[in-house]
Structure 1
Amino acid sequence: MRNAILSVFSLLVAAAILLGANGLQSTLLSLRANIEGFPLSAIGFLTSAYFVGFILGCRYAPRFIKNVGHIRAFTALASVASAATLAHILFVEPVSWLIMRALAGFCFAGLHMIIESWLNERATNENRGTVLSVYRIADFTAVTAGQFMLNVADPAGFVLFVGVSILISLSLVPVALTTAAAPRPIKSAKLNIPKLWTLSPLACGAVVAAGASGSAFWALAPVFIQDIGYDVSVVALFMSAIIFGGAMAQFPIGWLSDRTDRRRVIVGTAFLAGAGATLISLFGPDSQNLLIAFALMLGMFHLPLYGLGVANANDFAEAEDFVSINGGLLLLYGFGAVTGPIIAPFVMKGFGPSSLFFYNAVVYGLLTIFGLYRLTQRKPVPVEEKTEDFVSVPAGAAPAVFEIDPRATDENPDEAAAKA
């Protein structure tokens, strides 16, 4: 096992640097946009633009990677993402930032794709779970560390933007110097959303809700914290608490869902996420301790939702359909992530900062009700027939690509693409 980790160590280092930088940049842009007096709707659109770019990246980046190779593609995408970060401090106005965020989303879709498909190919069926677990630990740790970098300098200045750019550029070094063999070309899949809905409506609902709720608070929680009277250090604590809560709960919730009716776990998780969001709205403005505690609770039950949806869909899927199924779920997540930051600012403007998390509670509540309805429409999948393939969502981002599915390398990629 030690040899397996060492064989991809350089890729894990690159991923940690890249994800930490992206997590820092996401929170930094919300803070700086608020300082600059951007309208709430414009701050929300920044995150929506990122996910629009991410969706386009998932669609078109594989073609780019196929044409020039993984290392060259990584170099190009990271360089553009680094330059886009610096462009934010040259053109401090909403339209330019929207363009830069969409460009960053496209680049990070390709960067995630390269790293995760590379890790997946280097792993074997015997050690894949461990390799991906280490990757997720690096993900959560790096994004958490990135949040605390907000305390290094004033978000109103340029230092943090330069720091993000430096980190993205440094992520090139482990990839450029790695001795690991580059993976085979990535294949895109034919997506069939109507078939996916027929297969598992609850899975579709879960990933849309995860996108619509998560993208809203990643975009606007820093504004919420500032508007209720806390400083930047509390922003870092709050965002880190959400990530840490998710890190703690991923395994036990995934383990439970593999051993009972997964739909019930989705319903319970959505309900508790809604409770956490409601408690943040009610008690967060009056107590910093309660604010952080309920952020931890929200993270515990929000971050596993995407993985639960993926696993539930795969419970009902045929083996040859897994590429198109997971690709379709990714697309639905992206659509939800685009709409959340568009709707939430109008809610906050009309009802105050705390209504951000009431909005989230409504999204989770609708998923809870829909899940209870779906429990009456179909018998549960027997435990022995379940796929034990719970895959967590990266902290503060969209799920990267469906190639991360553990079964992706069980067959020739050309055959998989043909079947999809």
Structure 2
Amino acid sequence: MGKVIRILSALLIASFFLIAGNGLQGTLLSVRGDLEGFSLLLIGMLMSAYYVGFIAGCHFAPRMVKRAGHIRTFTALASIASAAAIAYALAAEPIFWIGLRVITGCALAGLYMIIESWINETASNDNRGRILAVYRMVDLGALTIGQALLAAADPAAFTLFALVSILISLALVPVAMTTTSQPKPIANTELNLPKLFRISPLAASGCLSAGAANGAFWAVGAVYVQHIGYSVDTVAVFMATVVIAGAVSQWPIGLLSDQIDRRLVIITVSIACAASGILLAITGTSSMQALLIGGMCFGLSGMPIFGLSVAHANDRAEPHEYVTLAAGLLLLYGVGAVAGPLIATSVMSQFGAQTLFGHTSVIYIALALFGLFRLLVSDRPSRKQREDFVAVPRTSPMVFEIDPRGEDEEETSQ
């Protein structure tokens, strides 16, 4: 295991820089857009544009890899993402920024695909699950540091945009210098969204709901904190608290879902997340302590819902459907993440910033009610049919091929 991690160290370091830079960039743009006087709806459009580009990148990046190879494609996409990161400082124009967000999302989707396919090529059935756990630790650690870096400089200045560009550029170095063999070209997959809902309506709805609710949080959570009267430093602490809490809860909740009916866990966690949102909406303005407690509860309950939904879908899928199914579920998350910020910011503009978590609570209450309905009308899969929960990064469909089941299922389908 240690030897494999050493082999993958270049990719993990590259992931760290990319995710830290991207995490800082998302929060910075929300805060800077608010300082520039952008409306909440416009900020929501800005954040949704990233996922539009991300969805497009999931389709276009494999063709680039097929044409130029992994390292050359990585170099090109990282250069584009780095240039886009610093270009925001040139002009605080909404249309210009939205275009840059689409470009950034497309480039980052390709970069994540390359890293994850490379990890999959190096991993084996015996260590793939542990490698994914290390990758997840890098993901959340980098995201936490990226959020914290918001407090390193004035968001109204050029400095933080330059820092994002530097972090993304640094990701080029370990990949360009690695001696690890390049993986095989990424295979294209055909997505069938109606089939996802036929296989598991609750899992598909869970991924869509997680995108709409959590996507809104990632888009304007920082703006929410500002609008209820806190400083930029508090924004960084609040966002980091949610991320850390989400990391802590992944494995305990996943382990519980492996032992009992996963639908019960999805329902319970959805109710808890809805309650956390209501708590934030009511008490978030009262004190910083109340704000952070509410954020911690939201992270603990909201962050695992996507992983739970993916695991539940695979309980009901045929083995050979695993990769295409999981890629489609991530695409549903992306669709929700496009719509969620737009809806949330519209509501916030009309009724105040605290309604952001009213928006998330309504979504998760609806998911819990639908889960109860599915619990009554469908049978529980047997223990032999149930797949282990695997916490997944918020990156690209390629991550699902890292799962220990990937190679077994590929062999089954042949």
1:32-43 alignment to 2 at 5 Å?
Answer: 32-43=32-43
When structure 1 is superposed on structure 2, of 320-329 and 33-42 the one drifting more is: 320-329
Q: Please say if 1:194 is aligned against 2:187.
A: no
Q: Within 1, Cα distance between the matches of 2:150 and 2:398?
A: 25
Q: Please say if 1:177 is aligned against 2:177.
A: yes
Secondary structure of 1:181 counterpart: coil
Secondary structure of 2:235 counterpart: helix
When structure 1 is superposed on structure 2, of 242-251 and 190-199 the one drifting more is: 190-199
2:376 aligns with 376
The residue type paired with residue 13 of structure 2 is: V
Q: Within 1, Cα distance between the matches of 2:20 and 2:11?
A: 14
Q: Please say if 1:259 is aligned against 2:259.
A: yes
Pair 1:400–1:353, CA change in 2 (3 A): farther
CA deviations 1:327-382 (Å, max 9, x no partner) are: 21111111101000111111001111100111110011110110010001111112
Structure 1 residue 287, shift from structure 2 partner: 1.1
1:78-89 alignment to 2 at 5 Å?
Answer: 78-89=78-89
Structure 1 residue 410, shift from structure 2 partner: 3.9
Q: Within 2, Cα distance between the matches of 1:409 and 1:108?
A: 26
Structure 1 residue 105, shift from structure 2 partner: 0.3
Q: Which of 402, 406, 409 is the equivalent residue of 1:408? A: 406
CA deviations 1:118-139 (Å, max 9, x no partner) are: 1121111111111110111011
Structure 1 residue 400, shift from structure 2 partner: 6.2
2:211 aligns with 211
Structure 1 residue 412, shift from structure 2 partner: 6.5
When structure 1 is superposed on structure 2, of 184-193 and 368-377 the one drifting more is: 184-193
2:361 aligns with 361
1:293-372 alignment to 2 at 5 Å?
Answer: 293-372=293-372
Structure 1 residue 87, shift from structure 2 partner: 1.0
When structure 1 is superposed on structure 2, of 90-99 and 187-196 the one drifting more is: 187-196
CA deviations 1:27-85 (Å, max 9, x no partner) are: 00000000000111110011110000000011111111111111111101000000001
Q: Within 1, Cα distance between the matches of 2:203 and 2:409?
A: 25
Structure 1 residue 294, shift from structure 2 partner: 1.3
Pair 1:197–1:102, CA change in 2 (3 A): same
The residue type paired with residue 243 of structure 1 is: V
Q: Within 2, Cα distance between the matches of 1:404 and 1:343?
A: 33
Q: Within 1, Cα distance between the matches of 2:137 and 2:123?
A: 16
1:221-300 alignment to 2 at 5 Å?
Answer: 221-300=221-300
Q: Within 2, Cα distance between the matches of 1:199 and 1:99?
A: 36
CA deviations 1:240-272 (Å, max 9, x no partner) are: 011001100000111111111011111011111
Pair 1:400–1:159, CA change in 2 (3 A): farther
2:115 aligns with 115
1:27-176 alignment to 2 at 5 Å?
Answer: 27-176=27-176
Question: Could you tell me whether the CA contact under 8 Å between 2:274 and 2:360 is conserved in 1?
Answer: yes
Which consecutive residues of structure 2, in runs of 5 or more, have no partner in the other structure?
none
Question: Could you tell me whether the CA contact under 8 Å between 2:191 and 2:324 is conserved in 1?
Answer: yes
Structure 1 residue 205, shift from structure 2 partner: 0.6
Q: Given the two structures, how large is their TM-score scaled by the length of structure 1?
A: 0.96
Q: Within 1, Cα distance between the matches of 2:16 and 2:192?
A: 33
Q: Within 1, Cα distance between the matches of 2:112 and 2:408?
A: 21
Question: Could you tell me whether the CA contact under 8 Å between 1:85 and 1:161 is conserved in 2?
Answer: yes
CA deviations 1:258-297 (Å, max 9, x no partner) are: 1110111110111111111111111111110111111111
Q: How many residues get paired? A: 414
Q: Within 2, Cα distance between the matches of 1:131 and 1:170?
A: 23
Secondary structure of 1:114 counterpart: helix
Q: Within 2, Cα distance between the matches of 1:24 and 1:140?
A: 13
Question: Could you tell me whether the CA contact under 8 Å between 2:316 and 2:385 is conserved in 1?
Answer: no
RMSD of aligned residue pairs (Cα, Å) = 1.5
Pair 1:114–1:91, CA change in 2 (3 A): same
Q: Within 2, Cα distance between the matches of 1:193 and 1:406?
A: 24
Structure 1 residue 7, shift from structure 2 partner: 1.2
Question: Could you tell me whether the CA contact under 8 Å between 1:330 and 1:402 is conserved in 2?
Answer: no
Pair 1:70–1:389, CA change in 2 (3 A): farther
The residue type paired with residue 299 of structure 1 is: G
Question: Could you tell me whether the CA contact under 8 Å between 2:270 and 2:301 is conserved in 1?
Answer: yes
Pair 1:380–1:343, CA change in 2 (3 A): same
1:13-32 alignment to 2 at 5 Å?
Answer: 13-32=13-32
Structure 1 residue 406, shift from structure 2 partner: 3.1
Q: Within 2, Cα distance between the matches of 1:87 and 1:399?
A: 28
Pair 1:398–1:127, CA change in 2 (3 A): closer
Structure 1 residue 392, shift from structure 2 partner: 2.5
Q: Within 2, Cα distance between the matches of 1:217 and 1:230?
A: 17
Structure 1 residue 389, shift from structure 2 partner: 4.3
Secondary structure of 2:378 counterpart: coil
CA deviations 1:367-411 (Å, max 9, x no partner) are: 0110010001111112232111423243xx677654334333447
Question: Could you tell me whether the CA contact under 8 Å between 2:193 and 2:328 is conserved in 1?
Answer: yes
Q: Within 1, Cα distance between the matches of 2:84 and 2:310?
A: 32
Question: Could you tell me whether the CA contact under 8 Å between 2:270 and 2:365 is conserved in 1?
Answer: yes
Question: Could you tell me whether the CA contact under 8 Å between 2:34 and 2:223 is conserved in 1?
Answer: yes
Q: Within 1, Cα distance between the matches of 2:46 and 2:399?
A: 22
The residue type paired with residue 365 of structure 1 is: I
